[in-house]
Structure 1
Amino acid sequence: MRPYILAENNWKAIKDQEVELAVLPWGATEAHNYHLPYATDIIESEGVAEEAGKRAWEQGAKIMVLPCIPFGVNTGQTDIKLDINMHPSTQAAILNDVIEVLDRQGIKKLLVLNGHGGNNFKPIIRELGVKYPDMFISFCNWFQAVDKSEFFDHPDGDHADEMETSMVMYLRPELVRPLKQAGEGKAKEYRIKALREDWAWAERRWSEVTEDTGVGNPKKATAEKGKAYFEAVVQKVSTLFVEMAEADLNDLYE
């Protein structure tokens, strides 16, 4: 029983435990090329949350990792079989309910640990911050914590790519099919220049962009690369956990 993992604990252990920071991992359930499981984003987010939580706890941080939310925004993948979409409005309702509990019980800090690129919590947190002015509500994208180019030969992908494949090879190797069965993750780009340059945005229709559901070449993935990248991410995320847990909400700025 890890004292910083809510799902593993019981009322006897929890009822008197002080919690300064609640961490909510958030993933998605979606196809990841031919070789990775639908739970890839869940596996990664839980893995980062649990290991970073362990290291933060060992440094004295009073944190609690909540169960992972398994569904994310997949509005561009409506025709991909069993990609389970959760609308942003549903995410807002879930976050509201979680924050309502934390606020009522005096746990005033929440960090959403996001592992899915389709999730965008910024506008939701802006709105909920007005509703719960005493709460410190934040999120981070763990997959942006470190520079992928330091670890991978093909760092430009963003879905079932070399990074994600390497991560799952390290965390759950039994769920990864042989790379010879993986698609190459080739993705089409918009013809509209501004959309290619990322200063304008429109949602991609996934099945028109990629044949195998992947975006990024996974062929050079290894468990060793996954371990090195995971360790670097966890180190940064655990530092964030500690800093947030110890932060004085009346003295946040310097």
Structure 2
Amino acid sequence: MRPFLLKESNWKTLKDHRFDLAVLPWGATEAHNYHMPYGTDIYEADAISAEAGRKAWEKGANLTILPTIPFGVNTGQADIYLDINMNPSTQFCILRDILTVLNRQGITKFLILNSHGGNDFKTMLRELGLSFPEMLLFTCNWFQALDKDQFFEEKGDHADEMETSLIMYLHSELVLELTEAGDGAEKKSAIKGIREKWAWAERKWSEVTKDTGIGDPRKANAEKGKKYFDAVTDKVSELMLDICAAQPGELYH
């Protein structure tokens, strides 16, 4: 049993223990090019939260990692077979229910470890913060924690070299030969402001990419994945430690 993972814990251990921080990994179920599993974001969330949690726990962080939520916002992928969409309003309700339990039981620090680009929890936590003013609410995107250019050659943001390398390291048995992968070519928006990234509209996935990937994965390998995994879990564990150490009224210097 890893005591920092709720799914592995038991009542004998927890009936007399109280955590400072609860971490909720949140993934998605969606196609990842031709060569990657639909559960890519879930596998990443599971592994990164568990390893970062271990590193933080061994340095004194009193935290629990909640089971991963497997569905995310996939509203732009309605025509991609079995991409399971969870609307933001549903995510809000789930968060409210979880925070109600944590708040009632005295856990006042909460972090969402987001593993899917379509999820955006900031506005939800703004609103929920008014309902739970005694709680400290955080969200992070692990895939934005590091400069990917230091680890990978090809740019991308979905089933790309980075994600492929990670899953090749974590679950090589689930990745097809890279000769089976599409090139992850992305069509750019016809709207200049969107191309310049100061305007936004949701991408219609099947019109942007023919293979559901964005970013060429064909230079990926498990060695790159391990190097990135080790570095990103170091970074996420630092965040967990900082949140555990944070005190209300002393968050700003």
TM-score bracket for this pair, using the shorter chain length: over 0.9
* CA drift at 1:253: 1.4
Give the unaligned 5+ runs of structure 2. Answer: none
Instruction: Supply the AA of the counterpart residue of 1:157.
Output: G
* CA drift at 1:228: 0.5
Q: Does 1:166 align with 2:194?
A: no
Q: Does 1:124 align with 2:115?
A: no
**Is the 1:21–1:109 Cα contact (8 Å) retained in structure 2?**
yes
Distance 1:196 1:110 in 2: 34
Distance 2:55 2:171 in 1: 21
* CA drift at 1:18: 2.3
**Is the 1:21–1:111 Cα contact (8 Å) retained in structure 2?**
yes
* CA drift at 1:84: 0.2
**Is the 1:186–1:217 Cα contact (8 Å) retained in structure 2?**
yes
Distance 2:88 2:113 in 1: 16
Alpha-carbon displacement from aligned partner over 1:78-103 (angstroms, at most 9, x marks no partner): 00000000000000000000000000
Partner of 2:203: 204
**Is the 1:20–1:246 Cα contact (8 Å) retained in structure 2?**
no
Distance 2:235 2:71 in 1: 25
RMSD of aligned Cα (Å): 0.6
Identity, in percent, stands at 61
Give the unaligned 5+ runs of structure 1. Answer: none
Secondary structure of the structure 2 residue equivalent to 1:81:
coil
Partner of 2:89: 89
Partner of 2:42: 42
* CA drift at 1:188: 0.3
Distance 1:23 1:186 in 2: 35
Within a 5 Å distance, the mapping from 1:48-59 to structure 2 comes to: 48-59=48-59
Superposition TM-score, scaled by structure 1 size: 0.99
Alpha-carbon displacement from aligned partner over 1:201-250 (angstroms, at most 9, x marks no partner): 00010001111000000000000000011111011100111111121123
Deviant stretches of 4+, over 3 Å: none
* CA drift at 1:117: 0.2
Alpha-carbon displacement from aligned partner over 1:131-174 (angstroms, at most 9, x marks no partner): 110111110000000000000010x2000000000000001111
Secondary structure of the structure 2 residue equivalent to 1:158:
strand
Partner of 2:135: 135
Q: Which range moves more in the overlay, 110-119 or 12-21?
A: 12-21
Partner of 1:190: 189
Instruction: Supply the AA of the counterpart residue of 1:165.
Output: T
Distance 1:15 1:110 in 2: 20
* CA drift at 1:16: 1.1
Distance 1:37 1:77 in 2: 16
* CA drift at 1:130: 0.6
Superposition TM-score, scaled by structure 2 size: 0.99
**Is the 1:26–1:116 Cα contact (8 Å) retained in structure 2?**
yes
Report how many aligned residue pairs link the two structures.
253
